[in-house]
Amino acid sequence: MSTAAASRPVQLRWLAHARSGDKGNTANVGLIALEPEYYPLLVKEVTVSRVKRHFKGMVTDVERFELPNLRALNFLLHGALDGGGTISLKTDAQGKVYSTALLRMEIPVPAALARRVVPKASAKR
């Protein structure tokens, strides 16, 4: 069986929760695994390049930090806030919606895990 057939794209919202905020012109997004078994998958699949591609045109650079004790990844999204909260004309000058936006990113997961975590009604979307 090929790797493509053995995996299925799943939105991060089924594997993690997230929090975001800001510091100057940088949005900060913490991605926390919902279950300990999901953390290694997040480490492997939620890469800097994937996050950059997901936020293409919205950020200038991405940094990733691993927090294994918390089963979390922390991302700094540079250039995301058009100068920062006090001077930005963006609707979300504090970067609060970046966490929700990241949870919409899809990563490949084993098909058995996808069947287990994604509710049947959502799987058809």
| pLDDT tens track for 97-124 | 899 999 999 999 999 999 999 987 565 5
pTM comes to 0.83
Rounded Cα gap, residues 77 and 55, in angstroms: 9
Domain range for 68 is 3-84+91-119
Rounded Cα gap, residues 114 and 37, in angstroms: 13
- Joined tokens for residue 69: 């004790």
Has residue 124 been placed in a domain?
Answer: no
Has residue 125 been placed in a domain?
Answer: no
> Do residues 78 and 25 touch, judged by C-beta distance below 8 A?
yes
Task: Give which of 9, 2, 1, 16 is closest to 111, Cα–Cα.
Answer: 9
Has residue 31 been placed in a domain?
Answer: yes
Rounded Cα gap, residues 43 and 39, in angstroms: 6
Residue labelled with tokens 């997961």 = 109
Rounded Cα gap, residues 63 and 79, in angstroms: 12
Length of the chain: 125
Say how many Å lie between the first and final Cα of the chain, rounded. 25
- The tally of domains found in the chain comes to 1
Confidence of residue 25 (pLDDT cuts 50, 70, 90): confident
Q: Look at residue 70 in the predicted model and tell me its pLDDT.
A: 97
Does 26 score more than 60 pLDDT?
Answer: yes
Rounded Cα gap, residues 45 and 110, in angstroms: 12
Q: Look at residue 5 in the predicted model and tell me its pLDDT.
A: 58
Has residue 55 been placed in a domain?
Answer: yes
